[in-house]
Structure 1
Amino acid sequence: MSLIITDDCINCDVCEPECPNQAISMGPEIYVINPDLCTECVGHHDEPQCQIVCPVDCIPLDKNHTETREQLHAKYEHLKMALSS
């Protein structure tokens, strides 16, 4: 699954720089996560870094974008290839 930022977000700015895939950006009111770029840090870290640094625990799994660990790793590989070309 990719992750999602809930309305509990306080716009503290700590999650965005932690995302290795640049999946987090400022939305109209709070930060948002692009599910096409989110790999839950698979390929980079053992745990999602945004969840670790979030002071209000507002970054759960996005049940609307379910993916297995294998699918997340394939997405990571695809993103890595796209960035290198």
Structure 2
Amino acid sequence: MKSGIRSIVDINRTANAYTASIVLVVGDHQFVDAKSILGLSMTLYRDQTYRLYIHGPDEAEAKAAMLGVFAKHHLRAELIEQLM
């Protein structure tokens, strides 16, 4: 499995392990559900910082896990408190 595909699958599996809503914000106007493998495959590039909006009953655990999986694949991610 190629490295990029591995990243997408790993991020998707991690997101799907939680009930919280996990939205990846790309640029100023693109919102991608991290639980959608198709959405991830169309937006995940290594040369940018991703913003993550995570909200739900298990959001604390989801936030830690998502930051961890992005770091594991050398992708920059930061948490945001609200969607634009």
Please indicate the TM-score interval, normalised by the length of the shorter structure.
0.3 to 0.5
TM-score normalised by length of structure 1: 0.37
Greater share of strand: 2
TM, length-normalised to structure 2: 0.38
> Which structure would you say has the larger Rg?
1
